[in-house]
Amino acid sequence: METLALAEPHANVSLWALFWQAGFIVKLVMIGLLLASVWTWAIIIDKVIAFGRMKTALNRFEKTFWSGQSLEDLYRTLADRSTSGMGSIFVAAMREWKKSFEKGARAPMGLQTRIDKAMDLALTREMEKLEGRLGFLATIGSAAPFIGLFGTVVGIMTSFQAIAGSKSTSLAVVAPGIAEALLATAIGLLAAIPAVIAYNKLSSDAGRLGARMEGFADEFSAILSRQIDEKVAQRA
């Protein structure tokens, strides 16, 4: 293990100086945690923007869907577009609907089941988009404090080795080495706290958006079920 040079009583104890005075392993831990913190904030900002867009898209689609526009017209409008949220669920269901009835089937057996499966798959894909990279936030939130603590332990061990070599226990000599070791823990907490808070908040938001899409899928499934019964009765 490396041996740190002991700081003089009037050594520079600024954060930048503490970083440069730290040993290689502690520096590596600090750099890794800082990079994790930057990536955490990038994910948080990206998810906040994405969730805002999804909420707007859901509101817009619901307004259009319940405006009285025919399902065929709405499907033709959305079929060739890049859709998300309820739009993707709607298009998946209508595509399965049209595949069955446009083939001239008099009584498409299992159509309701196929439509429900198509909507479930579309909902799963949308939830994967919403929840993507949230696992990284959970990992950083749980692991970063321990990674920082590892750097602290290594730094303190190195400091005590240097103290033993110099045979001096002066506070002015000991303090800088301990401070640079504890800096690793502080950086670990700096990365972990926002990650934990953001993970809990974003997971909750994703759950609410998912519940809205699932509710729409159930409502739309009921609407198509009634239309299937009507079409089958007309062709009987």
The tens digit of pLDDT for each residue in 210-224 reads: 999 999 999 999 998
Q: Which two tokens stand for residue 212?
A: 């809205």
Integer CA distances (angstroms), 127 to 40, 67, 106, 207, in order: 20, 26, 35, 9
Inter-residue contact 212 to 58 (CB < 8 Å): yes
CA 201 to the chain's CA centroid = 10
- Span 34-61, mean pLDDT? 95
Alpha-carbon gap, residue 80 to 18, rounded angstroms: 58
The confidence score (pLDDT) of residue 1 equals 42
Least confident of 3-7, 158-162, 225-229: 3-7
CATH code linked to domain 24-62+70-235? 1.20.1270
Domain ranges across the chain: 24-62+70-235
- CA–CA separation, 75 and 97 (whole Å): 11
Regarding predicted confidence, which is higher, 158 or 54? 54
Model pLDDT, residue 146: 95
- Report whether 76 contacts 182 (CB < 8 A): no
pLDDT tens digits along 196-212: 999 999 999 999 999 99
User: Please, which residues have CB within 8 angstroms of residue 55's CB and are 6 or more apart in sequence?
Assistant: 209
pLDDT digits (tens, 9 = 90+) for 146-178: 999 998 888 888 777 777 766 666 665 666 667
Query: Residue 150 is which amino acid?
Result: F
